[in-house]
Structure 1
Amino acid sequence: MVKVDVDIKVKFLHGFSHKTRIQILECIKDSEKTVSQIVDEIDGNQSNISQHLACLKGCGLIVGRQQGKYMYYSLRNQQIRELLSMFDDVLAEVQTHVASCDNHIV
């Protein structure tokens, strides 16, 4: 098993720690999209979405592909897609506990 520095792991997990970033990841889970498409789909504002895209890209969760004047964003790889699905599977089992947890600030 690969040993990963805890601080690096925390930085990686930070990419998943904001509602907008999760919405973006879910939005591009099945197909690449432009910023405008993401903004429309999650009903956000372009400046805010762009900041979160930069965070996701910096954390290595997504990649961007330039085509003409548009940048298309997608998940970095199949493992990220599987990780998002695993989050859903685990959450299905513990969502009642998570919802009632007073130790987390939303």
Structure 2
Amino acid sequence: MAIDCCDQDLTPAVALFRSLGDPARLAIVRRLAHGEARVVDLTRALGLAQSTVSKHVACLRDCGLVDFRVEGRQSFYSLTRPELIDLLRSAELLLSETGSAVALCPVYGTPAEVAS
């Protein structure tokens, strides 16, 4: 049975892609795809302020994409679903095929630099 795309509620999918649409959050997810990390580890690896990392990790937790475990006084963050790693891999494959088109998209891409 075919599913009419107009009958599906796309709100959850939109929320998922928005949660990954921020460069800091996407960088955090990509780092956590390699294994759990503390906020201090993410701060060092990504060169972001602790408050920025904490804010984005909290957002990813609220979305159910990241969770944590406590060990002593430290929290170790990890991805909640291995399917997220598959999604990232699929996106990287898609970008390897269409990267320049996506990067030059007039709405979401980065404008091409004008040669001097």
Q: TM-score, normalised by structure 1?
A: 0.90
Give CA deviations for 1:52-106 in whole Å, capped at 9, x if unaligned: 0011111111111111111111111211111111110111111010111111166
1:63 and 2:88 are equivalent in the alignment: no
Partner of 2:57: 53
Q: TM-score, normalised by structure 2?
A: 0.83
For residues 9 and 62 of structure 2, the distance between their equivalents in structure 1, rounded to whole angstroms, comes to: 17
Unaligned runs of 5+ in 2: 111-116
Letter in 1 for 2:36: E
Partner of 1:77: 81
How far is 1:4 from its partner?
5.8
Greater relative contact order, per chain length (Cα 8 Å cut-off, separation 6+): 1
Instruction: Report if aligned partners of 2:67, 2:78 keep a CA contact under 8 Å in 1.
Output: yes
Instruction: Report if aligned partners of 1:65, 1:73 keep a CA contact under 8 Å in 2.
Output: yes
Unaligned runs of 5+ in 1: none
> Percent same amino acid among aligned pairs?
26
Deviating 4+ runs (over 3 angstroms): 1-4
For residues 8 and 50 of structure 2, the distance between their equivalents in structure 1, rounded to whole angstroms, comes to: 34
Partner of 2:24: 20
Instruction: Report if aligned partners of 2:102, 2:109 keep a CA contact under 8 Å in 1.
Output: no
Letter in 2 for 1:31: G
1:33 and 2:37 are equivalent in the alignment: yes
Instruction: Report if aligned partners of 1:63, 1:74 keep a CA contact under 8 Å in 2.
Output: yes
Partner of 2:48: 44
Give CA deviations for 1:32-68 in whole Å, capped at 9, x if unaligned: 0000000000000000111100111111111111111
Cα root mean square deviation, aligned: 1.9
3-state DSSP class of the match of 2:21? Answer: coil
